Amino acid sequence: MNYIEQIKVFWRFHEQETFSVNEITLYFYLLEVKISHLSRLP
């Protein structure tokens, strides 16, 4: 699943289960950490 698909899935899930601002922030922070880590791999 690519970055955009993960974001779309997150927002679809958010429609069913409302997340707090802190939860949303944490999700996107961890997603960014994952993406930046993957981009460093050969």
What secondary structure, in 3-state letters, does 4-38 show?
Answer: HHHHHHHHHHHHHCCCCHHHHHHHHHHHHHHHHHH
Cα dihedral sign, 28-30-35-6: negative
The phi and psi torsions of 6 (rounded to 5 degrees) equal: -65, -40
Digit-coded pLDDT (tens) for 10-31: 999 999 999 999 999 999 999 9
pLDDT for position 39: 79
Domain residue limits at 15: 3-40
Hey, what's the torsion of the CAs at 36, 1, 16, 20, to 10 degrees? -10
Q: Which helix (H) or strand (E) holds 1?
A: none
pLDDT for position 38: 80
What is the number of domains present in the chain? 1
